[in-house]
Every structure is written in C-alpha cells, then in structure tokens.
A and B are shown apart, each in its own frame.
Chain A
C-alpha cells in the first residue's frame, strides 16, 4: 500500500542551524513528491515539488529512489520557518497520501 512516513513528530533546532525533515515513502511506481507547509493554523501551502527541482525559502529536497526518501533540508534555519511540514506522495493519476506531519520549531 502507498504510504508516507514522517518519523519525527517534533523537531527543534536553533536559529542558524541546519535542519532536515525526514520523509520516506512506499510506492512501487514512479512517485511524485511534495512538501507542504502550514504556518500557525493558516492554510496549507505548497513548498516544493520534486519535479520542479527548485529551492523555495532556502529549502531543498532531493528524491532518492534507492532509499525511497524525499527529505527536506535547509542549511540555516530561521525563526519564521517554524511551522508544520507535510510530505505528500501523488500517484495513480492524482491519488495522494500525506504524511503525519513534522512540527519544526526554530529557537532564537
């Protein structure tokens, strides 16, 4: 079955430190992967999609098919990065599975 796992419910780092939010997926076909962010009860926003290979707000994510991972990274975390982050897998013509989310807290 298709599944997205975000092993960390909570992640706390200091401002300026590197951050990595882990995401592993389970899917035998060609996945399309996304990271969405939710700031403090606001609506969900698209952060990254792997096919575009772009960097948003300093975040990057590389799809590693061998490890079935799509970890989100940022070299220097900022306080405004504090939010809930959701990894999502799209497959089979628009079916989607979301991870349980990781709450990132960036401390001053």
Chain B
C-alpha cells in the first residue's frame, strides 16, 4: 500500500480556473512537500509544510498558490487562477519527523491547462 495517495491522477482545466490537488498520507507524517515537473524539465521544489504552516517556499510558489491541511489529514495544493504554464506533473512527498526519514512520493497529478 502506498504511503501517500494523490488525487486526481489527471486534471484538465481551463485557463483562469481554480484547481485543488490532494495528497493523502497513510498515517503519521509531519512534513509535506509539493514538487512539480514541467514536461521535459527537472523536478522543481514548490513548498514545504510542517506543523500546519509553510516552512519554506520557492520563487515559483507565488500568490496564485496556497497549501493547507483542511481536515488534519489531507494536504492540498490550490492554484487560484491557472495559467497555461502551470501544466505539469505535481508530486506530493511526505516524511515523518526525524532527520533520517525518507521522502515518500505520490504518483503525481498530471495537470493540463487549456
């Protein structure tokens, strides 16, 4: 059973629409990360989240993006007004507390903005 499940696996949306990508850990994970991979490029860090607040974010993570844990278990990434260049694979990663805890990646959500 995977440590983390992402939904949906594929999301198609029109430019300007809001999307919410979801990440559901199996249990007991304290650190959450969102990464994205634009087609043909490397995986890029977006944001890390610990103890119900953002611990670090990249320059990509602008005001269009937000993260939250709405019910204490799910971890969501919201893009308020999608742009064509937001089309990418979005990966959630989680880890437990502890310096040596590995990252567990979800299978990703493919976001296509048309």
A contact set with B: CB distance below 8 Å: 9, 34, 36, 38, 40-41, 43-44, 46, 49, 84, 86, 88, 90, 93-98, 100-101, 103
8 pairs, A vs B, C-beta closer than 8 Å: A9-B102, A36-B43, A43-B33, A94-B89, A96-B43, A96-B91, A100-B102, A100-B104
B contact set with A: CB distance below 8 Å: 33, 35, 37, 39-40, 42-43, 45, 48, 56, 58, 88-89, 91, 93, 99-100, 102-105, 107-108, 110
Chain B at the A interface: SS class: strand
Is B45's CB under 8 angstroms from A101's CB? no
Chain A at the B interface: SS class: strand
**Bound state CA distance, A4 and B91, in angstroms?**
16
Closest to A88 in B: B43
Is A96's CB under 8 angstroms from B56's CB? no
Is B56's CB under 8 angstroms from A43's CB? yes
Is B99's CB under 8 angstroms from A96's CB? no
**Given known A-B contacts A44-B35, A44-B43, A96-B37, A84 and B48 have beta carbons under 8 A apart:** no
